[in-house]
């Protein structure tokens, strides 16, 4: 799929800055900008940990810096026309201290907004998350919801709390007067669970499955549904909204959008098996092996152990009370708002997205076998 020629003209000789540009989504976004936007003068990649393989990319400038430090962020923003702010700490397991999550996700976003205002960078897109909405800690289902659906969002875990606060900062900054007399234009995109090549969590599931000889046991009822979205389609949506906000700011300014494609609604386990099964994995049981209350007790025990062991080591298993609630609660979206506002349609079909992810995971499989 190609960008319409009239939209491409808006990016001629411009500079784009992608914060978190070496991350899972950020790197894919940079690759897509290079492919789809030949008229861009420069793509700046700002990240704490640089991917040295990106040095060879044409028109790409790597900038190492800490998003939580304004003295690092401001020089990176200077002279940029568009900022796509994907940088963030994703942690729902307790691997990172809460103050670090807040410093990166909230203070980092404040730094980006302030840099845009002082440096006259007019267009800012924020990569938010479905978790700014839910699932909430009460386990209320969000069934085929859209951006306007009433839902009690309750944030106690540091990650969703920080993302919700950062998104609010970005949306409230829309229309702010900048140093050059122009007004800041902002919007936020909310991906559901992103999947695709180089997804570290998928790789972690694969490696844990090797410990049980590629047998996995069902923990969540198959009736629980979640929306997932392919990383290439999330990147495509960012690119389209960046062009639209320059062509017609009134169409998208101050708006939030769920990211979606035609990936099927399934439980996390069944969806992950779409990629793991071709690698020889098996999911055992049509019903959960353990009742919910037993899983909750295990999750609670993990949380207690994490608290006890905190002074000595990082104990952060995948299962805790928060991740159990998220996995056990239906959260699916049904929206056409991005289509109506800026013409978004998925760039990759479900079949293409699945096949690309499977091929990558099979390469991981071969590499693991060689290492043995």
Active site residues: 159
Is residue 17 helix, strand or coil? strand
Cα separation, 132 vs 336, whole angstroms? 19
**Rounded-to-integer distance, Cα 269 and Cα 134, Å:** 19
Neighbouring C-beta atoms of residue 337, cutoff 10 Å: 18
Contact 269, 216 (CB under 8 A): yes
Q: Which helix (H) or strand (E) holds 283?
A: strand 282-284
How many C-beta neighbours within 10 Å does residue 65 have?
18
Residues 6+ apart with CB under 8 A from 369: none
Peptide bond connecting 221 to the previous residue in cis, omega within 30 degrees of 0: no
How far apart (Å, rounded) are the C-alpha atoms in residues 369 and 314? Answer: 29
Q: Are 164 and 132 in contact (CB under 8 A)?
A: yes
196: left (phi over 0), alpha (psi -120 to 50) or beta: left
Q: Cα–Cα distance between 85 and 126 in angstroms, integer?
A: 5
Q: Which of 36, 10, 1, 15 is nearest to 239 (CA)?
A: 36
Helix (H, G, I), strand (E, B) or coil at 176: coil
């Amino acid at each position: 799929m190609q960008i319409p020629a009239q939209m491409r003209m808006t990016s001629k000789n411009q500079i784009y800055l992608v914060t978190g540009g070496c991350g899972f989504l950020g790197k894919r976004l940079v690759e897509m900008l290079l492919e789809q936007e030949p008229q861009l003068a420069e793509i700046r990649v700002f990240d704490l940990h640089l991917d040295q393989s990106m040095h060879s990319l044409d028109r790409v400038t790597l900038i190492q810096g800490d998003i939580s430090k304004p003295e690092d962020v401001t020089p990176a923003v200077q002279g940029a026309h568009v900022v796509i702010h994907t940088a963030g700490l994703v942690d729902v397991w307790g691997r990172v201290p809460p103050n670090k999550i807040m410093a990166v996700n909230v203070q980092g976003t404040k730094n980006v907004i302030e840099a845009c205002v002082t440096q006259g960078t007019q267009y800012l897109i924020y990569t938010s998350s479905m978790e700014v909405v839910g699932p909430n800690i009460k386990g209320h289902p969000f069934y085929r919801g859209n951006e306007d659906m009433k839902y009690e969002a309750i944030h106690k875990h540091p990650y969703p709390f920080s993302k919700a606060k950062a998104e609010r900062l970005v949306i409230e900054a829309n229309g702010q007067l900048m140093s050059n007399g122009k007004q800041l234009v902002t919007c936020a995109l909310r991906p559901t669970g992103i999947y695709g090549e180089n997804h570290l969590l998928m790789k972690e599931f694969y490696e844990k499955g090797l410990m049980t000889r590629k047998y996995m046991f069902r923990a969540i009822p198959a009736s629980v549904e979640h929306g997932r979205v392919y990383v290439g389609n999330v990147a495509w949506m960012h690119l389209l909204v960046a062009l639209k906000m320059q062509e017609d700011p009134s169409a998208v300014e101050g708006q939030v959008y769920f990211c979606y494609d035609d990936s099927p609604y399934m439980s996390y386990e069944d969806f992950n098996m779409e990629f793991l099964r071709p690698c020889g994995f098996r999911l055992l049981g049509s019903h959960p092996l353990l009742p919910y209350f037993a899983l909750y007790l295990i999750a609670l025990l993990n949380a207690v152990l994490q608290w006890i062991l905190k002074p000595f080591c990082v104990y952060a298993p995948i299962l805790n009370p928060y991740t159990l609630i998220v996995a056990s609660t239906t959260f699916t979206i049904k929206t056409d708002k991005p289509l109506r506002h800026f013409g978004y349609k998925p760039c990759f079909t479900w079949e293409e997205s699945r096949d690309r992810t499977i091929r990558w995971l099979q390469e991981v499989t071969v590499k693991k076998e060689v290492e043995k």
